[in-house]
Structure 1
Amino acid sequence: MSKHGRIVRRAALGTALAAAAALTIGGIAYADNINDTIEGLGAVTLVAGDSTSTGSAQVKVVPNNGDSDSGCNIDTNEHFVITFVTPAGVTASPASMSFSDCNVFQTVSFSAAAGAVDGTVTATITTNTTGAGSYNNNVQIPIDVTAPVVVVVDADGDGVPDASDNCPATANADQANADGDALGNACDTNSYAPKAGASPADGNGDEGSTLSTSGAFTDADGNDSLTITKVSGAGTVTDNGNGTWSWSHSTTDDATGTVVVQAADGEHLAASETFNWTASNVAPTVGPVTATHTSACAVSLNAPFTDPGTADTHTATISWGDSGTTNVAPATSAITGSHAYTANGTYTIGVSVTDDDGANGTGDASFATQNTPSALQQPINATGTRSSFKIGSTIPVKITVTGCDGGAVSTLTPTVTLTKLDPTPDNPLNEASLDTVATNGLQMRWSDTQYIYNLSTKLSQQTGAALTGGTYKVTVSDSSFFAPVSAQLDLRK
């Protein structure tokens, strides 16, 4: 055991002793000649920053006259307090201790934080006694701080200790780390963020069509590591699984929009690509336009139309060619209408279909009016009892013809034909025998207010011979007629 310090409190003898005997502080009497010392044992060795490394020393109070307790002047209720002053980084536990008797060891433990250095712990003494004398506080405990033993492990042999190696199992002396995370490029399967490729082309086309475009992203970790999705906009984006994508959008109307596509790798900031699309309006297509006679001067019109913009709405106008028009709203898949003309002629009927965007398609048809022949007139009964003529008679065949304005048409050359229906006449004679000049040929002639044809039964213009008994059909036709007219008659001997 070595003594690192001794503190002696000395007091004058004589009158001071008598005075001390009579001194009372706080109700406790203290003797003079208090000669006590502090003794610390041994030096302490610590390892800096190692919590498992601790050192300890033993400290006691001893009388000034040696280890004999006869010189111990610690009276009842009297005690010494020793406080330890440690160098930087060193901690004493406890930081202070109290002694109420001499020659009793107490243990103080020490530890050193990282960065602690060698030094000396100084023990200072205080007491609750008062009176003459002083304390010699020179007990010192040497502290020897050693550096911790560092074992450097470099499993991959790249010169970078495992403790600071971002790929301890894979040699990467450059410690490259593209994304700055805990793993270096050499052992990180997701080191790089995705990047956008060239700007995708805009997806343009006509309404009613399927628009399309495509694009690509890249990733240094491999393009197949990307997940590509649509962020916003119309249409469908397909991830092709290799960093490329395809977009399609089926349109029903003219419109525009913007689409944002992104690629993500599950770790880094996603990359995005943007493109615009336009579906242009297309005018409706009209046709074929069909104009059908419903009478000599009336027409029925049918004009189908198509529009690839199936969401469009339409209106239509029919121009009949005679300054008359018909508006159709809304117009559906076919435009229909009818019209009557009040003057003969050939008319161009125009149809215009306009969509809700103002684009229009047109179609037309030509329509020629026809003439209206009357029924066969007397002496042939067009209705009622069938006329019956005697063979040898000349039978006048008469009609009138009117145009769309109601006036007589006199410039035609209608044709008469005769068809035998039955060799046996049904009716007895009921018409007078006529003997007039037969018409030359088969065509009627205009006579004052009507067309006339004298049909001979003796030497018929129709057969070149005399007619025989039976039932006949007389027909008058012309290319300008809406329909031919006819009547039946009987011939008898």
Structure 2
Amino acid sequence: MPFRRLLATIAALAAAVAGALVWAPTASAAPLPGASASPTTVPRYGVSTVTLTLDGESSTQSTPTDLVLVLDESGSINDTEFGQLTDFADSVVAAVADDGLFANGGRVGVVGFSQTAQDVSPLSADEGAVRSAIVNNTQMRSSTCISCGLDRAGVQLGPDDPLRNQVVIVITDGNANPGDPTASAAAALQGKATVFAVGVGDGVSQATLETVASGPGSDNTFTVGSFDDLADLLEKLVEAVSVPGATHPSIAVTLASPWKLVPGSVDANLAGSSIGGVTPDGFTWSRADLGDEQLVITYQVKHAGAPCGPLGVNSSVAYHDDENAAVVFPPVVVTVTCVPPVADAGPDKSVAEGSSVALDGSGSHDTDGVVTSYAWGGADAGVGTLANADGPVATYNGLDDGADTVSLTVTDDNGLVDDDSTTVTVQNVAPSLTLTSCPVDPTAVSTDVSFTGTFTDPGALDTHEMTVDWGDGTTTTPVTSPVGATHQYAAAGIYDIAVTVTDDDGGSDTKTCGFVVVYDPEGGFVTGGGWIMSPAGAYPADPSATGRANFGFVSKYKNGATEPSGSTEFQFKAGAMNFHSGDHQWLVVAGDKAIFKGTGTVNGSDGYSFMLTATDASPDRFRMKIWKTADSTLVYDNQMGAGDTDAPTTALSGGSIVIHKN
């Protein structure tokens, strides 16, 4: 067997020579484990230092040991040196026997090698027979076939035996013959035995020794200046191959979730310790042996975030050695304290009904972790609704005016929660009215006049009423959607129909049809002629132009006609403008006021419209408005900026206006 099974038999040799170790023929206690942590309470994501201790023993059990001495008998060794080598081999066997190797089932064999190898003594439990064979051995005195000696030792040991320790000590004073398969022979032997190599003098290289031995360096290779010095090497050699309480001990640490290993934090106090297999979840400590000494391993663990409370640090701490000692480390528990998150629903908000506003909960936080979920709720279905209710920023949609309290619950990555709330005030928005059709053509008195319209209101829960002011002193109310109504006017005039939609929260919108012409074919006609002083700005083509403007007109309904007939002339010399009417489209005579509209030409060019307003009063007054029909570009207006149905303000400078009654 390799060195991992080497027992106290060789240790006894050290006791015999140097008194350094004590033979332990029977099993002793397994290494004693301990475990602790400091501190034992940490905050979330905190760090604690774990300490594992292991008190070793001189030996854990006695196992039969087979020792083979492989001795160089080549011709480079003279008689005196060979005698010194023989004496050294004999002293090793004597020391091992005195300390009970043979009494505990052990055996010793001796191999000599030169050009070939021979069994000086096969493996034997008879001390006397082995020593006699060594003393009576005859040197072969030829070349150096190291592989022959290694192969022969392997044959002596036989198959790898898991119930026995198998050790080989090779002593040589020179390198192998050229072409000698030393490396392959050594590898085969090392597969089942722990091999130590001793070089004598300066004829053997360190490379050869390290090829033969189970490992490089002073643990497995030794050198002396001469064969006479071998006796001085005995203590050192036996100490190197002596068996401690545990051979090849290892401790595999696996951390429990949610703990992670702090990088670079693993440390062991004993020289020769090896730390391997390091991952965030653990590591493995190992060493060649553990004797009567205390091992202290420390490492730091960091809490990974969740859960909290008393938590076991180690999932497992698995001990193993070649003696199969039973070692169970006590559990390590560290308590983790966690802080709940802080919910922040943000400031109170206002929003118009039918609109949305962001509710920002991103100010929520967790001092020792992160917020993992958001839950908005509590919206009153009669006031508003929520969208994106599972995100840090929710959307509140206002439905109807009112105040609404909205709650926010946040949860952190450890499952702890907190709540907050904010108030959303939904403000009313008035409806928006559109009149889709209004009277366009002039309408005779006592004839139906109608309009239609629609409205929208972002307040999805609002109810509405409509009222209509027909402009003649008549009001229709209330009227519900859809928007629209019919009315008959009793008197001629130009009326403005005002429609108002009002919601149940008092918001309203008003739109007007405007300029609804109601005429009375039997209501009279108008004539006029004369001149006015045209004011500055009346003629946009030349705003500074002022002076006399002449006019003449007649407009009347013939019997049964729905459109008036007549003629209108208007001349403004300062602007070099001459207007002549074509069609008269409608005429309204109401009291002392007449207004009519039609088309015509300017300086002989078609494409113009006009509206003439006149009053038969004291003084008579006159207004003329002319524009391009296609795009409403204003050509002339002596009452610039006034409404189309406003009474004229420009008094005649000469002439007269007469409204004729039927």
Fold conserved (TM > 0.5)? no
TM range (shorter): 0.3 to 0.5
Which structure features the higher share of helix residues? 2
TM-score when normalising by structure 2? 0.31
TM-score with structure 1 length normalisation? 0.40
